[in-house]
C-alpha cells in the first residue's frame, strides 16, 4: 500500500496516477445492478429501498471501468457486488465473463445471500470465470443470531446446490465459517452475529455504532475502489453510493469523469486520505466506524502516522497559521 506524498493532494500526471493505482489498489468493488431481495436489520437495505425496479449499471460505464483496470494490468480482487444481490440478475454471468477477458489475472469474486443458487447456476458462474463465491448466511428480519438457525441454513444451501460442506471455524454464538467443495472455484460460507461484529455503515445503522469515536487510521481509502450501480464512487464499502444521507460523500462518477484514476486521485478522495491517516478522532461517517485496520505489516500504524507527520501535518499547520493571520472584512 502506497502512502507517499501524492496521496494527499490532487494528482493529474496520468502516468503517475496509473503507476500508483496499480501498486496500491488491491480491491475493486462494483455493483452491476441495484436490486437486493432482502431487508436485513444490520444492513442499510433494511428500509427496503433496494426492493424496487432493478437498475443495471450502464454498459458504457462498466466497459470504461474494465478498460481502465486492464490498462494497469489489475491482478487483485475484483468484486462484482456491494449492497445489491449479485445473483438476482443473471446478467452477472456476462459481467463476469467480460471481466475475465479484460482482467485475466484478477481474482473475480462475488458475495451472495445464496437465495438464488442452484447446481446449474453454480456451474455457470464457474464457467463464466468466477474464482470465488462467498455465501453469507443472513437472518430473517427481526430474528436474533443462533447457531441452530445458521447450521440449518448452511445445510439448506448445501442441499440446494448439491455441494459437500466442510466446517472451518465454529465459535458458539458468534461465528461459523465453512467451505463448499467445488472443482473449479472456491466457495465459502460465513455467518456472524452482527450485534457483536456489525458496522453502522457510515451512521446509517446507529444501533450498531460504538460508544467511543474512532481514532484509528484507515487503509481502505488508500487501497480500495468502490463504485455503485449509478457510477458513483465512494470512499469505502461502508458508504452507500445511492443513499441521500451519503450523497455528499461521493467522490466522483465514472460516467462523468475521464477515468477511474481521475476520481481516485482527485481532490475529494485526497481529502479523505488526509483525514484518515492520523490517530486523532475521526469525523463524519468515519466517527462511528468500527472496521479494523487490516494490514499484514506489523508496523503499518506507525508508518501511517509518520506519513501523516511528514506529508499532511505541515500543510495543516500552514493552513491554520494562515487562518489565524487572515483578516475578515468585518474586522478590518
pLDDT digits (tens, 9 = 90+) for 102-159: 999 999 999 999 999 999 999 999 999 999 999 999 988 888 999 999 999 999 999 9
**Whole-number pLDDT of residue 332:** 39
Taking residues 294-306, what's their average pLDDT?
85
Taking residues 200-211, what's their average pLDDT?
89
Q: Which of 245, 244, 197, 226 is nearest to 42 (CA)?
A: 197
**Diameter over CA atoms, the chain:** 78
How many residues are there in the chain?
Answer: 332
Read off the pTM.
Answer: 0.93
**pLDDT tens track for 40-76:** 989 999 999 999 999 999 999 999 999 999 999 999 9
Q: Which three cell numbers stand for residue 260?
A: 477511474
The CA R_g of the chain, rounded to the nearest whole Å, is 21
- Alpha carbon of residue 73 to chain centroid: 20
**Whole-number pLDDT of residue 30:** 98
Instruction: Please give the share of the chain, as a percent, with pLDDT higher than 70.
Output: 98
Taking residues 197-218, what's their average pLDDT?
90
SS3 94: helix
Q: Which three cell numbers stand for residue 54?
A: 432493478
Q: Are 165 and 178 in contact (CB under 8 A)?
A: yes
Q: Give 15's contacts (C-beta < 8 A, 6+ positions apart).
A: none
Backbone dihedral region for residue 201 (phi beyond 0: left; psi -120 to 50: alpha; all else: beta): left
Banded pLDDT at 266 (limits 50, 70, 90)? very high
How many C-beta atoms surround the C-beta of residue 251 within 10 A?
21
DSSP per residue, 100-156: HHH-TTSEEEEEE-STT--HHHHHHHHHHT--EEEEE--PPTTPPP-HHHHHHHHHH
CA angle 314, 318, 319 (to 5 degrees): 115
Banded pLDDT at 329 (limits 50, 70, 90)? low
Amino acid at each position: 500500500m502506497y502512502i507517499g506524498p501524492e496521496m494527499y493532494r490532487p494528482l493529474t500526471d496520468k502516468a503517475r496516477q496509473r503507476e500508483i493505482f496499480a501498486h496500491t489498489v488491491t480491491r475493486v468493488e462494483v455493483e452491476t445492478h441495484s436490486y437486493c431481495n432482502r431487508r436485513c436489520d444490520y444492513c442499510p437495505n433494511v428500509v427496503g429501498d433496494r426492493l424496487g425496479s432493478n437498475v443495471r449499471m450502464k454498459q458504457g460505464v462498466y466497459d470504461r471501468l474494465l478498460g481502465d483496470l486492464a490498462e494497469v494490468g489489475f491482478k487483485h480482487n475484483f468484486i462484482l457486488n456491494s449492497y445489491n444481490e449479485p445473483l438476482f440478475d443473471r446478467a452477472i454471468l456476462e459481467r463476469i465473463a467480460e471481466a475475465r477477458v479484460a482482467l485475466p489475472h484478477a481474482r473475480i469474486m462475488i458475495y451472495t445471500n445464496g437465495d438464488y443458487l442452484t447446481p446449474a447456476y453454480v456451474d455457470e458462474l464457474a464457467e463464466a470465470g468466477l474464482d470465488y463465491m462467498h455465501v453469507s448466511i443472513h437472518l430473517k428480519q427481526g430474528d436474533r443470531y443462533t447457531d441452530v438457525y445458521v447450521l440449518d441454513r448452511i445445510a439448506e444451501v448445501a442441499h440446494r446446490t448439491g455441494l459437500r460442506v466442510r466446517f472451518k471455524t465454529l465459535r458458539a454464538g458468534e461465528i461459523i465459517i465453512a467451505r463448499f467443495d467445488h472443482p473449479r472455484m472456491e466457495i465459502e460460507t460465513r455467518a456472524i452475529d452482527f450485534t457483536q461484529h456489525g458496522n453502522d455503515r457510515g451512521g446509517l445503522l446507529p444501533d450498531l455504532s460504538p460508544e467511543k469515536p474512532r481514532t484509528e487510521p484507515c487503509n481502505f481509502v488508500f487501497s480500495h475502489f468502490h463504485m455503485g450501480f449509478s457510477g458513483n464512487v465512494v470512499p469505502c464499502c461502508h458508504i452507500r453510493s445511492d443513499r441521500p444521507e451519503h450523497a455528499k460523500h461521493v467522490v466522483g462518477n465514472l460516467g462523468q469523469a475521464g477515468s477511474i484514476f481521475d476520481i481516485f486521485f482527485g481532490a475529494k478522495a485526497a481529502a479523505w486520505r488526509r483525514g484518515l491517516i492520523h490517530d486523532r478522532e475521526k469525523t463524519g461517517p468515519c466517527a462511528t466506524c468500527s472496521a479494523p485496520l487490516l494490514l499484514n505489516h506489523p508496523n503499518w500504524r506507525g508508518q501511517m502516522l509518520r506519513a501523516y507527520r511528514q506529508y499532511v501535518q505541515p500543510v495543516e499547520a500552514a493552513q491554520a497559521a494562515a487562518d489565524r493571520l487572515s483578516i475578515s472584512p468585518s474586522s478590518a
